[in-house]
Amino acid sequence: MITKPAQLLALVDQAKSADAIALDTEFFWEHTYYPRLGLIQLAISGDECHLIDPLALDDLRPVGELLAHPGLVKIFHDAGQDLAILQRATGATAQNVFDTRLAAGFASLPSTLSLAVLVRELLGTDLIKTETRSDWLHRPLSAEQLAYADNDVRYLHALRLSILRRITKPQVKAWLYEELALYNDPRSYISDGSSRYQRLRAALSLPPAGAAILKRLFIWREETARASDKPRGHIIPDAGLLAIAHRPPEGIAELYSLGLSNQAITRHGGAIIALCAETSGIPEETAAPVEKPWRLSASEKESYRRLRDMIRLKSEMLGIDPGLIGNSDELRAVARFLLADGAFPAASLRQLSGWRMTFLKDFHPGRA
């Protein structure tokens, strides 16, 4: 276990001379906004795995040097959460990331396989995953935890090579690296929970003024949770924010009838009342409503059906997981856009740029 700064610096110097390193994290996430980092695993090869103890080290910036090194491949499995945790711990943004889970989707495999399933499928080895729910903040770690942690990085080098060997078409390999390059931007894996209100079915019935209050409430809660390092629901749960937006209170006393806890009212009642008063002054015509789901017309449904069929057939031919092209909502939006003569706003559709646009050009060459 790496517990001293000198040990960490020596390991980082050694890792910098490698072509690729494998990384993983173990963490504990209860009652906080941010996960608590409990362990960093780093494998220089399948035979050389190191465990870094972030509880014993005050400065993890040397690990950040590895993450930010553009010439060093960093191999993860399902990289997003690990990258977000490591960025906060080290202050560095990772570059040149290889995600074996994502990459499998370009190698005639599903892009959603767990590490254990992928290792068994490609390497014929069974991983024991009994320590997934362990307390990684407890010291000393058990022998079982240490073995589990080692195995989470031990096979990543071999997985990367096996996956790349399976991708025989240069175009598909280029698409893979284009998709992996998105990890160079932390916006691809660090989400902002302030927009979660758009996914709440109960928000659809709000008038524009109520929707404006709900949006402000979610932004306020996100900022409050982040600043206090408390889970969003520990500030005020979604149901409480919805109740406030449906019946905006003018005074503290009204909050008690909306199902909020006494503690939440004591701590945040004043801020909520002020926010509601401020937002209620916005002209209704300028308040953005919650986006309501739309239904496809008969012609759009046919376009959607043909689009799905083309994606399925072309994906099978190229060895790509069709789920990588887009989810059902995205593909419905693409089908609608292709029949809308540009009238349908599509700026946010990732299918209309990059490798996905190239993939879809056979479906509608005049538009994609």
pLDDT of res. 291: 66
pLDDT in tens, 21-48: 999 999 999 899 999 999 999 999 999 9
Give the whole-number percent of the chain exceeding pLDDT 70.
Answer: 93
- How far apart (Å, rounded) are the C-alpha atoms in residues 337 and 332? 9
Q: Output the pLDDT for position 129.
A: 81
Give the SS3 label for residue 188.
helix
Strands (E), the chain: 20-28, 36-45, 48-52, 73-76, 97-99
Please tell me the predicted confidence (pLDDT) of residue 5.
Answer: 98
Q: Are 212 and 287 in contact (CB under 8 A)?
A: yes
Query: Which is nearest to 99 in space by CA: 115, 118, 76?
Result: 76
Decide if 59 contacts 81 (C-beta within 8 A). no
Least confident range from 123-137, 196-210, 233-247: namely 196-210
Lowest mean pLDDT among 73-77, 195-199, 259-263, 355-359: 195-199
Sheet (strand 20-28) strand order: 48-52, 36-45, 20-28, 73-76, 97-99
* pLDDT band at residue 365 using 50, 70 and 90 as cut-offs: low
pLDDT tens per residue across span 119-150: 999 999 999 888 878 899 999 999 999 999 99
Q: What is the pLDDT of residues 318-359, one digit of tens each?
A: 999 999 999 998 999 898 887 765 555 555 789 989 999 999
Average pLDDT of the chain is: 92
Phi-psi region of 51 (alpha: psi -120 to 50; beta: other; left: phi over 0): beta
H or E segment to which residue 95 belongs: none
pLDDT for residue 293 = 66
330-350 core/surface letters (b: 16 or more CB in 10 A; e: else)? ebbbbbbbbbeeeebebeebe
Question: What pLDDT score does 130 carry?
Answer: 84
**151-198 pLDDT tens trace:** 999 999 999 999 999 999 999 999 999 999 999 999 999 887 777 888
Tallying the residues shown for the chain, one arrives at: 368
- Tell me how many helices (H) and strands (E) the chain has: 16, 5
283-296 mean pLDDT: 64
pLDDT the model gives residue 344: 52
Question: What pTM value is reported for the model?
Answer: 0.90
Please compute the mean of the pLDDT values over residues 207-211 and round it to a whole number. 89
DSSP letters, 238-270, are: HHHHHHHHHS--SSHHHHGGGT--HHHHHHHHH
Q: Is the pLDDT of residue 364 over 70?
A: no
**73 or 202: which leads in pLDDT:** 73
Asked if 252 and 270 count as a contact pair (C-beta separation under 8 A), the reply is: yes
Interval 260-271 mean pLDDT:
96
Task: Please state which of the ranges 91-95, 290-294, 299-303, 339-343 shows the lowest mean pLDDT.
Answer: 339-343
Of 11-15, 73-77, 184-188, the range with the lowest mean pLDDT is 184-188
The residue whose two tokens read 């040397």 is 62
Q: Percent of the chain, pLDDT > 90? A: 78
> Residue 368: is its pLDDT beyond 50?
no
CB neighbour list of residue 186: distance below 8 Å, 6 or more residues apart: 83, 84, 87, 93
